[in-house]
Amino acid sequence: MGFDVNKLQKEVKSLKDENKKLKETLEKSQEGFTLKVDADALMKSLQADLLSVDDFAMKQERATTYVVSDFNLQLKAVITKSGEKYSIALPSKPGEIDPNLMSVVNLSLKPVPLVKELEKKPLSAENVETIEGIGPETAQSLGRLGIKTVSDLALSSEKDLKAAKISEKKAKEFTGMAKLIVKSGFSGIAGVDEQAAELLVCGAKIDSRKKLAEAKPEELFSKLKRTIEKRLVKVPKGYAFDLDDVKRWVESAKTKTKESCT
């Protein structure tokens, strides 16, 4: 029985051509990805979201009951490897990538109870490394500027962070995340909605219930009004509050602060 070398060579060439086309298709499709993340970063992001849900629930005025069991998520994505690191590339819209090119990714998160000592410590008092994207080196640079906690970061501006060689885009992300965490600390204060919390943090540099409880309503009201007039904080058209509102915020903060001490 003879062996057809020419036929074998044709088949090998055909396979090489198909492999080349597949590689070109994959590279071309990856150019259009709107999201390409490191696998570790994706897991940390999901864990941070679960912690945010827990923190929000713990700060509610009414008793809140919720149960989070083992969390499983399945994704279809293109997995690439660079060195020892894996990246997960997600398509931006349905049909952008041939489903045959994607792998199935199974992620599993297991909630771990917080230690009691940590539960008593507000997130705003945590080290800046609590913020996603801030590592030891950046935290050290910020620390030299006196920015050591999430609260310090929330009260800083993008310009302040330039001295730590942080880009304007990253500075905006970091301070934005810090402000969200600090503002969540006002949850349960009567009349303090998201906009009022923004004014308190950015306009009056009040970053805790305790500071709000210690504020003099008349002075605080004037300061917040000046903040709006100078456009230091943007507020929706028609947004308004008066001195009585500010008095209610302060009194409610005093009550909440006393409750937390008993």
3-state secondary structure 39-84: HHHHHHHHHHHHHHHHHHHHCCCCCCCCCCCCEEEEEEEEEEEECC
Domains within the chain, CATH numbers bracketed: 32-113 (no CATH), 121-184 (1.10.150.20), 188-262 (no CATH)
Whose tokens are 């605080």? That residue is 220
The reported pLDDT for the residue numbered 87 is 74
Q: 19-72, pLDDT tens digit by residue?
A: 787 777 666 655 554 456 666 666 667 666 666 666 666 565 554 545 555 667
pTM metric for this prediction: 0.50
The reported pLDDT for the residue numbered 116 is 40
Nearest alpha carbon to residue 107 among 90, 82, 95: 90
pLDDT band at residue 256 using 50, 70 and 90 as cut-offs: confident
Q: In the structure encoding, which two tokens stand for residue 70, read together? A: 């083992």
Of the two residues 85 and 110, the one the predictor is more confident about is: 85
The reported pLDDT for the residue numbered 13 is 83
Confidence check: pLDDT of 164 > 70: yes
Q: By mean pLDDT, which of 64-73, 113-122, 145-154 is the weakest?
A: 113-122
Confidence check: pLDDT of 159 > 90: no
Confidence check: pLDDT of 95 > 70: no
The reported pLDDT for the residue numbered 35 is 53
pLDDT, averaged across the chain: 77
CA distance 242 to 196: 12
Up-side HSE of residue 210: CA atoms within 13 Å toward CB? 5
The reported pLDDT for the residue numbered 212 is 92
The reported pLDDT for the residue numbered 118 is 40
DSSP 3-state of 127 = strand
Q: 209-227, pLDDT tens digit by residue?
A: 889 999 999 999 999 999 8
Q: In this structure, are residues 200 and 169 in contact, taking their beta carbons and an 8 Å threshold?
A: no
Of the two residues 98 and 262, the one the predictor is more confident about is: 98
| DSSP bridge pairs for 85 | 82
Of the two residues 10 and 108, the one the predictor is more confident about is: 10
Query: Please, what sign has the CA dihedral across residues 226, 207, 258, 193?
Result: positive
The reported pLDDT for the residue numbered 114 is 45
Query: Please, what sign has the CA dihedral across residues 142, 143, 148, 152?
Result: negative
User: H-helix or E-strand containing 109?
Assistant: strand 103-109
Q: What is the mean pLDDT of residues 97-110?
A: 72
